[in-house]
Amino acid sequence: MVACCAMADTELYPRSLPDLTADDRPDVSLVVPVFNEERTIEQVVQQAIEVLETDTRTFEVIVVDDGSRDGTWAAVEHLHAGDARVKAVRFKRNFGQHPAMHAGLARARGDIIVTMDGDLQNQPSDLPKLIAAVADGADVASGRRRGREDSWGRTLPSRLINGMLRRFTAAEISDFGCAFNAYSRDAITPVLGVIGKQKFTKALVLAAGAQAVEVDLDHRAREDKSRYSPLRLTRLALHVLAGFWPQPIQWAGILLGVLCGTFALAAAVWATVVWALHGDFPGQLYLGGLVLGVLAIQGFILALVGEYLGRIQRDVDGRPLYTIEQELV
């Protein structure tokens, strides 16, 4: 039977994972956040169910529709009507991938929780590898995209962000951006209150001390245009700095001082040499370069401060993490 409820969940202080008895709890929960995935969502869920049914473990599938504007929700309703193991949540508007991830994780009842995108870039046939890694004792089975087919414009920023996260979390994981991962229930519980407010669910779990193993996964390029533009990737890098780097303002200030001091010293030395040899110094050119360099660094610092202020404003305003229009349970 379809159970629908209209509601406005204020998840600023998110609830705990459901507390269930062993008899009520499925072995595996698959969480699939989607946004405008009308063309692929049915295929993803049906393939995932076929794969999960080859195992003896019980399972559920939780689809979170992040305010899709196409026929995604109708497809999800069709899936739920055909299989009661498919649950669903629909947001009132688009809140973002990470709040959608929280909505699914907060409702997951399984001892092993798997997350994946609904765009078929990752293959549901890889589910058993992730589940087996957690069943064998790992806190996190971290997906690692093998033969990644994205353009260099996507892979190059990803490498930069991965390097930053490895440095700040002290977790030697090569692919923090892969959304196809498996977690033990105990690994998710301590950080559930931060997921959604912070991006990079996997980094949050690993930063809390969870132990991970990497699992190679098949990967193919997205058929339509990626939603991660260069501007969005830049904002994501700033989020990583604000969220995982302790005392970034102090470090940025040190960097500013070192660079400005170096430029000033170089300009003074060069001015002295040119003046001594030629009696002429191109002061305006070098002064202009120095001013531009300083302005660029100041712009970066202001962007970082803006990230902090945005977070403070969200908490002070008491905004909900997301609001829910409908649930299928």
Rounded to two decimals, what is the model's pTM?
Answer: 0.71
Are 120 and 128 in contact by the 8 Å Cβ rule? The answer is: no
Alpha carbon of 45 to those of 40, 221, 291: distances in Å?
A: 9, 19, 55
pLDDT tens, 211-236?
Answer: 999 999 886 665 555 555 555 656 66
Q: How many angstroms from the chain centroid is the CA of residue 224? A: 20
Rounded to whole angstroms, how far apart are CA atoms 252 and 301? 7
Q: Name the amino acid, one letter, at 213.
A: V
- Helix spans in 35-151 (H): 41-52, 72-82, 97-107, 127-135
Q: Name the amino acid, one letter, at 69.
A: R
Q: Which residue has the higher pLDDT, 275 or 54?
A: 54
Residue 328: which H helix or E strand, with range?
Answer: strand 324-328
176 is written with which tokens? 């923090």
CA-closest candidate to residue 204, choices 234, 244, 262: 244
pLDDT tens, 255-304?
Answer: 676 777 677 777 777 777 777 777 776 776 667 667 777 777 776 776 67
Q: Residue for token digits 């508007």? A: 93
**Backbone φ, ψ for residue 317 (5° rounding):** -70, -20
pLDDT tens, 62-94?
Answer: 999 999 999 999 999 999 999 999 999 999 999
